[in-house]
């Protein structure tokens, strides 16, 4: 993970902590990213859609910056959910709860512990779920979800083929979170068992069903002229 973050800073990507090394107790030391996470109380920072587009561009900048990263031979990744594709080292948790905003000039993604082999679309599908958001919960459902999805795709720069591949991936990526929590809970692995007991698995399943039932809507939003 330190090699990845070092690479990002060396190529000019500043929206991530910078590694400082390991302390005398064997703990990783990173620069502190000041500010507050967007979720849930700061979600209004993603309004208007100009701000949502900024998130998509930031993710694209990360993906472009990591494209030429060659992991060290002894690299070890904490892979929680095997990704579909492995064209980059992906973040795997690009979501409002990991976006820190200090002011208009300083936005950064944190929590890089689960970075590992993945694909651009795998990261984008997860980000879309959280930042649109695509949620079954009545407090978070958006009537303009399709419009926001199109804004996100345009700002990231998805081509037509990628947009067509993204639509079915949205549901699969979301459902993978439910399945992961279910399997970990069955083995009693923490903290996932506690999250499952608290209903997080049900939330991911409901969101996956919401997304899957509206695939035609997402296709229209992404491909309409």
Could you tell me if 5 and 16 are in contact, meaning their C-beta atoms sit under 8 angstroms apart? yes
Report if residue 8 sits inside a domain.
no
Q: How many domains does the chain have?
A: 1
Report if residue 113 sits inside a domain.
yes
- pLDDT lower than 50: segments of the chain: none
* Residue of 122, 146, 132, 156 lying closest to 223 (CA atoms): 146
Report if residue 108 sits inside a domain.
yes
Helix (H/G/I), strand (E/B), else coil: 69? coil
pLDDT of residue 208: 98
pLDDT of residue 120: 97
In which element (H, E) is residue 73 found? none
Report if residue 174 sits inside a domain.
yes
Which domain, by its residues, includes 69? 37-223
pLDDT of residue 80: 94
- Which residue shows structure tokens 């959910």? 81
All residues at 6 or more sequence positions from 158 whose CB lies less than 8 Å from its CB, including other chains:
124, 166, 222
**Whole-Å CA distances, 110 to 15, 23, 41, 81, 201:** 9, 20, 17, 19, 23
Residue 213 belongs to domain with CATH number: 1.10.510.10
pLDDT of residue 23: 66
Which tens digits make up the pLDDT trace of 47-68?
Answer: 888 889 999 999 999 999 999 9
Report if residue 24 sits inside a domain.
no
Question: How far is C-alpha 12 from the geometric centre of its chain's CA atoms?
Answer: 20
Report if residue 15 sits inside a domain.
no
Inter-residue long-range contacts of 201-208, CB under 8 Å, 24+ positions, other chains counted: 202/178, 203/136, 203/137, 204/174, 204/175, 204/177, 204/178, 205/175, 205/178, 206/136, 206/137, 207/129, 207/134, 207/135, 207/136, 207/137, 207/174, 208/171, 208/174, 208/175, 208/178
Report if residue 28 sits inside a domain.
no
Report if residue 100 sits inside a domain.
yes
pLDDT of residue 166: 98
121: exposed, middle or buried (Cβ count in 10 Å: 0-12, 13-18, 19+): buried
Helix (H/G/I), strand (E/B), else coil: 178? helix
């Amino acid at each position: 993970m330190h090699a990845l973050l070092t690479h990002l800073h060396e190529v000019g990507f500043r929206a991530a902590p910078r590694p400082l090394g390991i302390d005398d107790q064997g703990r990783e030391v990173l620069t502190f990213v000041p500010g507050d996470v967007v979720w849930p109380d700061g979600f209004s920072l993603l309004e208007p859609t100009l701000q949502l587009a900024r998130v998509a561009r930031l993710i694209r900048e990360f993906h472009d910056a990591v494209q030429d990263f060659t992991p060290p031979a002894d690299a070890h990744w904490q892979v929680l959910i095997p990704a579909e594709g492995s064209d980059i080292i992906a973040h795997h948790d690009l979501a409002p709860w990991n976006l820190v905003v200090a002011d208009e000039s300083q936005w950064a993604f944190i929590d890089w512990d689960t970075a590992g082999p993945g694909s651009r679309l795998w990261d984008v599908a997860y980000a879309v779920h959280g930042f649109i958001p695509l949620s079954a919960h009545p407090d978070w459902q958006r009537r303009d979800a399709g419009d926001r999805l199109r804004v996100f795709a345009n700002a990231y720069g998805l081509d037509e083929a990628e947009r067509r591949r993204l639509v079915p991936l949205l549901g699969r990526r979301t459902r993978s979170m439910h399945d992961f929590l279910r399997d970990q809970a069955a083995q009693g692995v923490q903290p996932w068992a506690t999250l499952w007991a608290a209903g997080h698995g049900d939330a991911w399943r409901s969101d996956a069903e919401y997304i899957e039932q509206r695939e035609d809507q997402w296709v229209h939003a992404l491909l309409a002229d």
